[in-house]
Amino acid sequence: MKKACVFAACLVALALLPASCGSRPQKARKFYWVQGLKGHPVHQLTQIAFTEGCRKLGYACEIVGSDSMDIIGTITLAEQALAKGDAAGMAVWTGSPAFDPFIERVAKKGIPVILPHIPPPEKPPPGVTGYVGCDTREYARQAALGMGKAVEGKGAVAITQGSFNTIENTVAEVFSKTIRENYPGMSVLQPQEEGFDPPGAIGRCTSILTAHPELTAAFSTTGGGPTAWAGAQRQAQRKIVAVGMDYTRVNLDLVKAGEVYAVVGQPLWEEAYGAAELLDRAVRGEKIEFWTKLPAPLITKDKLAPYYALLEKVEESLRR
């Protein structure tokens, strides 16, 4: 009788187990997206993409990060999330070696870590499972070649950055080098910090435009750049060839209106959604490529349609 009761209890316990437990681990079913400057429109787009990827794959999702460019604050929040013990995987938007010790701690707990958007450095931090994103050097070269052609290799070009950081510094350096090598008739101004506050950024870009009557072009390495340089042209009442980053709706509208020549199509949706897919594959024990490289084309007025379609998809997910 006792054996029968034990057997019956076992059957009940087995019946209560999820049917899918043989295919994926059930202990932890949450992916974390770690990213500073959480409310920036470009970052919000990536958060939506990552959340959508998690939803499609059957994972809970939590966005972690400060509302400013506070790296230490974001790492502190990420440490608190890690301490919860419910993480199946983490996607960390870094751009700073300050994240490296945290990434190593996550990996030591057996949790896969994917770094979206950031190309692998020569010596990646210990514990990284993989990277997903574009080659920043390549899109910097393409932006320089496209801009130089648009201004027929004449005049001067200004460079502005959201901040001075590893990624934007590299983009600015490669862009400058490409202009000098391919358009010797052009001069390149020293990069200046644009910042992330739109009115302040417009003011700084206007000052550059006013101080340099020889300016024929401007390149911004950040997603707010198109708005900043379009605003500067209005205030200074001058027309130049401006190129910035990212296919947010406001940026595409500026290209469509002819206020900005082009934007670099960093694969924001693809890399964020892809980070969720790569984490899922890592959790299931699959081997993944260390760098999943994605294209980042220069989006001019004649190439807008597919990016507007993608934004419709993003906005639809927001309405759900």
Number of Cβ within a 10 Å radius of residue 63 = 17
Region class of 65: left (phi > 0), else alpha (psi between -120 and 50), else beta: left
Residue 132 lies in a domain: no
Q: Do 158 and 243 share a domain, yes or no?
A: yes
- 18 lies in some domain: no
- Please determine, for residue 112, whether its predicted confidence score (pLDDT) is greater than 50: yes
Which DSSP category does 124 fall into? P
Is residue 84, in this structure, part of any structural domain at all?
yes
Q: What are 200's two structure tokens?
A: 């302040």
Q: What is the mean pLDDT of residues 296-305?
A: 97
Q: How many CB atoms lie within 10 A of CB 27?
A: 8
Domain shared by 260 and 283, yes or no: no
In this structure, what token pair is assigned to residue 212? 């340099």
Closest CA to 180 of 211, 208, 157: 157
Buried residues in 153-169 as b, exposed as e (16+ CB within 10 A): eebbbbbbbbbebebbe
Place of tokens 């600015």: 172
Average of pLDDT values for 150-154? 97
pTM to 2 decimal places:
0.77
Model pLDDT, residue 12: 35
Classify the phi-psi angles of 163: left when phi > 0, otherwise alpha if psi is within -120 to 50, otherwise beta.
beta
Residue-wise pLDDT for 78-103, tens only, equals 999 999 999 999 999 997 899 999 99
Q: Is residue 307 in a domain?
A: no
Q: What is the DSSP letter of 118?
A: P
pLDDT digits (tens, 9 = 90+) for 236-294: 999 999 999 999 999 999 999 999 999 999 999 999 999 999 999 999 999 999 999 99
d(CA 137, CA 144): 11
Amino acid occupying residue 109: K
Contact 173, 137 (CB under 8 A): no
CATH number for 201: 3.40.50.2300
Q: Assess contact for 72 and 43: CB atoms under 8 A.
A: no
Give the percent of the chain with pLDDT over 70. 90
pLDDT digit string, tens, across residues 182-232 = 999 999 999 999 998 999 999 999 999 999 999 999 999 999 999 999 999
Label residue 25 by pLDDT band (50, 70, 90). very low
Would the pLDDT of 42 be above 90?
no
Tell me the residue range of the domain where 156 lies. 137-264
Domain count, the chain: 2
Write the DSSP assignment of 17-44 as a string of letters. S-TTTTTS--S--EEEEE-SSTT-HHHH
Q: With bands split at pLDDT 50, 70 and 90, how would you rate the model's confidence at 14? A: very low
Q: Are residues 204 and 250 in the same domain?
A: yes
Tokens of 172: 């600015």
